[in-house]
Structure 1
Amino acid sequence: MKNIVHKWQQISLVRRILLGIIIGVLLALTIPEATSWVSIFGSLFVGALKAVAPILVLVLVMNAISSHKSGKKTNMKTIIALYAIGTFLAGIVGVVASFLFPVTLTLTTSTNEVAPPEGILQVLQTLLFNIVDNPIHALMNANYLGILAWALLLGFALKKSADSTKTMIANFSDAITNIVKWVIELAPFGIMGLVFDAISTNGLKSLTEYGQLLILLLGCMLFVALVVNPLISFIFTRQNPYPLVLRTLKESGLTAFFTRSSAANIPVNMALCEKLDLDEDTYSVSIPLGATINMAGAAVTISVLTLAAAHTLGIEVDIWTAIILMVLSAVSASGASGVAGGSLLLIPLACSLFGISNDIAMQVVAVGFIIGVLQDSCETALNSSSDVLFTATADIANKRSKG
């Protein structure tokens, strides 16, 4: 048994995950009635990631800040700038593509009973209240803005603590990191369950009516992932970005595609940053921060679906309104994690720019939920892989400037 486990572990994790995908597809096609015992692997894997991610973020960020030596530089300013540039350019891609390839919708008659934010002020208010959340409540509800805020405060408060205290925090951080590694080892089985569940319950039939919209959305996300992000990386690093881009898509984007949660993918991204030999003081802060504010995929979703609604209603969109939409989609996307329902529920906010009523906007949201099987998966894959890409880009650029 030990030999089997040892041989299994010698296979690269990506290959094991691909094997899990293949097995999940085969099981879904051959024994779709076995939903309960196969899909549970996926539920357990996502549950384990979501369980460990909040405490991981709290401990790692607290350890990084408390043990940081004065005078030692990190790349956080560059990374935050990269996050902002990437999200804004993604919004531009979504707007431009929607003008080049206009899509109209067959709006549904029913809408989900959800309450979208009434305006950008409500989004900002939600973000601010998440920041000042009770720390226990923030951990229990995976409120990463609140967790980050408390981790930063505790980290700065512990900077002058005794070395023994800092050692204890560091040891605790190492222990949590080891637990994360154990969870990630289960990824092939978890993704097998997630793939099985997706195919056996949803299939692709529900996507055929909205194929044109889906192609536009996924095309924009692919363009951002394979053209825009590499271009940003090249400008900062002055080296071929594609080896790094493809690695982040393969080792981060692949798991994010199936977990459909940037928060659940934080441990995976942390492990990848460690393999890339990046500065732990930097990535322990930039990765959870990226899962909160780096939302290029959400900017694409908001801009494309909003303009699809405008095209459907025959609304003329001038250049200045389009520019405002680019900015609004980027700002709204960065606040998506603070709103229940994520990027889809921020569509009514963007639709209000064109005077589109909330009832119609919520029908667009309903369309978004229908195509969400692939849209949300690709959006999360783009968002999460970009977190590692931009963190690594800032690290390479920093080393290049010193060298």
Structure 2
Amino acid sequence: MTASSPSLLQRLKRLSLVTQIIIGLLAGIALALVAPEVAKSTAFIGKVFVSALKAVAPILVFVLVMASIANHKHGQETHIRPILFLYLLGTFAAAVVAVVASMMFPSSLVLSTHDVAVTAPGGISEVLQSLLLSVVDNPVSALMNANFIGILAWAIGMGIAIRHAGETTREVLGDLSNGVTLIVRLVIRFAPLGIFGLVASTLATSGFGALIGYAHLLAVLLGCMLFVALVMNPVIVFWKLRRNPYPLVMMCLRESGITAFFTRSSAANIPVNLELSKRLGLHEDTYSVSIPLGATINMAGAAITITVLTLAAVHTLGIVVDIPTAILLSVVAAICACGASGVAGGSLLLIPLACSLFGIPSEIAMQVVAVGFIIGVLQDSAETALNSSTDVLFTAAACLGEDEKVQRLA
């Protein structure tokens, strides 16, 4: 008796999320071309997906940041301090590059702003006042109203406090973090359907000019990431080693970046980076800590994504950004990126935090997140490749730099 062939639904379920998103994207474009009126009715599917993202994002930020700080082991900094400095410097530099590129090549998005009040901040002083008031917000109110600044502040405070709790408490918090991450993965599994509805309804309503806008946005994002990988990171490595950085840079991109591009997971690429660090002859007691830590906090690509998409929303809404506010955005983007979730598209869920600096409400910020998922097929792959390859690049630069310093002193 021959086994029945798998159904179309079963075949689709076996495909990777990237492939499913591409199918959803192409199906949305095709429906908008063939039946524009039917495509407009799919807006509800996109709204459900955006609403799910809006619901899960606040608790995701709160639990992941709190668990990360609470379970941080004492004494790690003494072994990897130079690497941590390079991680933070590289992430901040990437955000600055994204600010400059966004101002030179501003992007516009198709956003629905009906019945949504947008209040532009008056300048850096008003932004700082709003930031301070958001920090001291009630934690329950912060979660209910998606006040990501307040959520982040309470998560840091609770994480520091729980570090002194019992081992069982920290284990429970870690299990809670894993549970929230699982729910986020479940929501993101519906990204192909959400993107289908968003693309179909948007193209049918606004025309294919919206797709051109996404292409421009994607070009800015990928251009920033290439610039950081091939120019900014080599400058940082040269500053540390005082020699030609490109052999090391290209090795890390070839050995680590390519695999990370296709796996789209910094965590999944940790074994590759550990093996590369071993082949480079680095200190095992250093890279065994710095590589897994880098997969969590070294997020130059995420900083670029958060900054570019936030400034695209700012430009679309006609909000004027001065230089001090842009620098503040770079700092916030760097901090947000360090806490980006390890799941696919995790950095996109932190965009509302940066948007809140400019008075952009969560309803609009989540539309920007949805746009990020539409271009995420390439954006997330390139972001992961930059993040993961930089983990081993900066680990190698710091280790080799410290070894040469010791040799000179000897």
In the alignment, what sits opposite 2:286? 282
* Cα offset, 1:36, TM superposition: 6.4
**Contact 2:267-2:342 at 8 Å conserved across structures:** no
- Map 1:238-387; keep pairs closer than 5 Å: 238-337=242-341, 342-387=346-391
- Alpha-carbon distance in 2 for matches of 1:340, 1:109: 27
Deviations 1:73-98 (A, max 9, x none): 97511000000100000110010110
* Cα offset, 1:121, TM superposition: 3.7
In the alignment, what sits opposite 1:135? 171
**Contact 1:65-1:281 at 8 Å conserved across structures:** no
**Contact 1:207-1:370 at 8 Å conserved across structures:** no
Is there any run of 5+ residues in structure 2 with no aligned partner, and where? 1-7, 20-71, 115-142, 164-168, 180-191, 197-207
**Contact 1:237-1:396 at 8 Å conserved across structures:** yes
* Cα offset, 1:251, TM superposition: 1.1
In the alignment, what sits opposite 1:164? none
Q: TM-score, normalised by structure 1?
A: 0.63
- Alpha-carbon distance in 2 for matches of 1:209, 1:363: 14
Q: Give the counterpart letter for 2:89 in structure 1.
A: I
* Cα offset, 1:135, TM superposition: 3.4
Deviations 1:315-338 (A, max 9, x none): 111111111111111111111138
**Contact 1:116-1:345 at 8 Å conserved across structures:** no
- Alpha-carbon distance in 2 for matches of 1:242, 1:328: 30
**Contact 2:313-2:368 at 8 Å conserved across structures:** yes
Is there any run of 5+ residues in structure 1 with no aligned partner, and where? 1-31, 44-61, 144-197
Q: Give the counterpart letter for 2:268 in structure 1.
A: A
Deviations 1:181-230 (A, max 9, x none): xxxxxxxxxxxxxxxxx9xx99xx99655100000000001101110111
Is 1:82 aligned to residue 86 of structure 2?
A: yes
**Contact 2:94-2:301 at 8 Å conserved across structures:** yes
In the alignment, what sits opposite 1:148? none
Q: Give the counterpart letter for 1:135 in structure 2.
A: E
Secondary structure (helix, strand or coil) at the match of 1:384 reads helix
- Alpha-carbon distance in 2 for matches of 1:369, 1:308: 15
Deviations 1:325-384 (A, max 9, x none): 111111111111389952111111111111112111111111011111111111111111
In the alignment, what sits opposite 1:118? 147
In the alignment, what sits opposite 2:397? 393
**Contact 1:74-1:282 at 8 Å conserved across structures:** no
* Cα offset, 1:119, TM superposition: 2.4
In percent, how many aligned pairs have the same letter? 58
In the alignment, what sits opposite 1:159? none
**Contact 2:113-2:364 at 8 Å conserved across structures:** no
- Alpha-carbon distance in 2 for matches of 1:116, 1:280: 45
**Contact 2:95-2:303 at 8 Å conserved across structures:** yes
**Contact 1:123-1:335 at 8 Å conserved across structures:** no
- Alpha-carbon distance in 1 for matches of 2:400, 2:248: 11
- Alpha-carbon distance in 2 for matches of 1:116, 1:83: 32
- Alpha-carbon distance in 2 for matches of 1:255, 1:117: 35
Number of aligned residue pairs: give it: 288
In the alignment, what sits opposite 2:220? 216
Closer/same/farther in 2, CA of residues 268 and 338 from structure 1, 3 Å limit? closer
Secondary structure (helix, strand or coil) at the match of 1:336 reads coil
Closer/same/farther in 2, CA of residues 336 and 65 from structure 1, 3 Å limit? closer
Q: Give the counterpart letter for 1:138 in structure 2.
A: G
**Contact 2:282-2:399 at 8 Å conserved across structures:** yes
* Cα offset, 1:262, TM superposition: 1.1
**Contact 1:75-1:398 at 8 Å conserved across structures:** no
In the alignment, what sits opposite 2:4? none
* Cα offset, 1:120, TM superposition: 2.8
Closer/same/farther in 2, CA of residues 255 and 235 from structure 1, 3 Å limit? same
- Alpha-carbon distance in 1 for matches of 2:245, 2:144: 41
Is 1:96 aligned to residue 100 of structure 2?
A: yes
* Cα offset, 1:117, TM superposition: 5.1
Secondary structure (helix, strand or coil) at the match of 1:337 reads coil
Deviations 1:3-51 (A, max 9, x none): xxxxxxxxxxxxxxxxxxxxxxxxxxxxx999569847x99xxxxxxxx
- Alpha-carbon distance in 1 for matches of 2:110, 2:144: 22
In the alignment, what sits opposite 1:230? 234
Closer/same/farther in 2, CA of residues 276 and 225 from structure 1, 3 Å limit? same
**Contact 1:234-1:240 at 8 Å conserved across structures:** yes
- Alpha-carbon distance in 2 for matches of 1:241, 1:106: 41
In the alignment, what sits opposite 2:28? none
Q: Give the counterpart letter for 1:379 in structure 2.
A: E
Closer/same/farther in 2, CA of residues 137 and 346 from structure 1, 3 Å limit? closer
Secondary structure (helix, strand or coil) at the match of 2:110 reads coil
**Contact 1:75-1:395 at 8 Å conserved across structures:** no
Aligned-residue CA RMSD (Å): 3.8
Q: Give the counterpart letter for 1:391 in structure 2.
A: T
